[in-house]
Amino acid sequence: MGSPVRILHAVVNMNRGGAETLIMNLYRHLDRSAVQFDFLTSYEGEFDAEIASLGGQVHRLPALKEAGHFQYLKAVNDFFKTNKQYSVVHAHMDKMSGHILSSAKRHGVPIRIAHSHSTSSEGHLAIRSYKWYTGQKINKAATDRLACSQSAGSWLFGRSVNFKKINNSIDSESFEYCHEKRINARKEFGLSEEHFVLGHVGRFSQPKNHTFLIHMFLKVVTHIPNARLLLVGEGPLKGHIMSLVERLKLEEHIVFLGKRSDIPEVLTGCDAFVFPSLYEGLPVSLVEAQASGLPCLVSDHVTHEIDIGAGLIQFLTLRESEQWVKSLIALERNRPKRQSQHERVVEKGFNILETATALQSFYLKRLKEVSHDKTDGLHANI
């Protein structure tokens, strides 16, 4: 048997973000004797060691914000000039994928995939303007377009451009609810069965809307003094949110858990999941929460494609925090019986094994098509 096809994934870093977690879930479940993943990044990441253990390579570029526009473009071009071994580049940098894919096209990489994971750009006006400029290159440079949701694809590629939807899938069996794990998780966090525990998983950044979450939770505590909020994640706004928690005297009610690798156990210890994002592509954390059987209160800015139909999602407006408070009070008074949703996750197409198999087939099919086109061209010239 020959060597596996090596797919180059372009990301900023391989930390525990939603897109990165999806890529690693796919990586773990595909046939690595047929397809192998390598990574083009700008920063060290938490998954780097695991990538090496699975046979992948991590290449490093200078960060755009540190190197500057021209030096960054030179570094990208130098990389593709030197590394001719890749026939597939799969970019996950939203609008910033434009630079990567344009350079890959210039250097003859035949399959260039743009993958949309969001519905908006972060940053102030100048940064968003630069991202818009870079994003204009994508449709000219990409041979294939993927997106986690309809809204994410329309945002990055345009409403009239075709793209293929790839679900943000999970290993749903690992999120099966277990009462014993619930007791152990609560014990670790200093909580008893009497506490009403809310969970949130997300990077401390503007789109996740932690400020709304904290102010809303303050109102919850006035009605439910034994309420607790578990916050999983890191990010640039963490210090600001911690200061806000201190100012509102909520330190006893809110637990900052940092980065965690045991998300199934954390979710098992919760009674509800709160997710007030300003925008999202299709958040993996909400698929995980539903798989665990958790009732979820979700911003109506999040695509309804996330609902697996288990009756666990309430979409609520961010204009009225009182709706969130009332819904949480109702949940606390009548806590529903917890039931895992593995079968429904599979039924709705969010099973990682099926998604990994489908993506692997997609890569191999596209490579075969490109090889066939080259052969046809050769025959035509004879």
Q: What amino acid is encoded at 372 in this protein?
A: H
CA-angle at 366, arms to 1 and 23, nearest 5°? 80
* 362 has a pLDDT exceeding 90: yes
- Mean pLDDT of all residues belonging to the chain: 94
User: What is the per-residue pLDDT for 121?
Assistant: 87
Domain 5-169+351-381 identical in fold to domain 173-344? yes
- CA–CA dist 117, 156 (Å, integer): 9
pLDDT digits (tens, 9 = 90+) for 145-166: 999 999 999 999 999 999 999 9
User: What is the per-residue pLDDT for 382?
Assistant: 43
Q: CB neighbours (10 Å) of residue 216?
A: 23
- CA–CA dist 169, 157 (Å, integer): 22
**What residue ranges do the domains of the chain occupy?**
5-169+351-381, 173-344
| SS3 category, 254 | strand
User: What is the per-residue pLDDT for 380?
Assistant: 44
> Cα 297 to the chain's mean position, in Å?
19
Give the residue carrying structure tokens 């000039």. 81
State the maximum Cα–Cα separation within the chain, in Å, rounded to a whole number: 81
- Contact, 328 vs 272, CB < 8 A? yes
- Contact, 141 vs 104, CB < 8 A? yes
| SS3 category, 177 | coil
- Contact, 101 vs 93, CB < 8 A? no
User: Check: CATH 3.40.50.2000 for 5-169+351-381?
Assistant: yes
pLDDT digits (tens, 9 = 90+) for 30-83: 999 999 999 999 999 999 999 999 999 999 999 999 999 999 999 999 999 999
CATH numeric code, 173-344: 3.40.50.2000
Give the relative orientation of helices 69-82 and 97-106 as an angle to the nearest 10 degrees.
40
User: What is the per-residue pLDDT for 336?
Assistant: 82
Structure tokens at 245: 């928690």
As a whole number, mean pLDDT of residues 301-311 equals 94
Q: What amino acid is encoded at 373 in this protein?
A: D
- CA–CA dist 73, 65 (Å, integer): 12
Looking at the whole model, is its pTM more than 0.75?
yes
For residue 351, give the DSSP letter. B
- Contact, 115 vs 90, CB < 8 A? yes
As a whole number, mean pLDDT of residues 199-218 equals 97
N residues, the chain: 382
Q: How many Cα neighbours within 13 Å face the side chain of 359?
A: 34
For residue 173, give the DSSP letter. G
User: What is the per-residue pLDDT for 16?
Assistant: 86
* 130 has a pLDDT exceeding 70: yes
* 281 has a pLDDT exceeding 80: yes
- CA–CA dist 147, 156 (Å, integer): 9
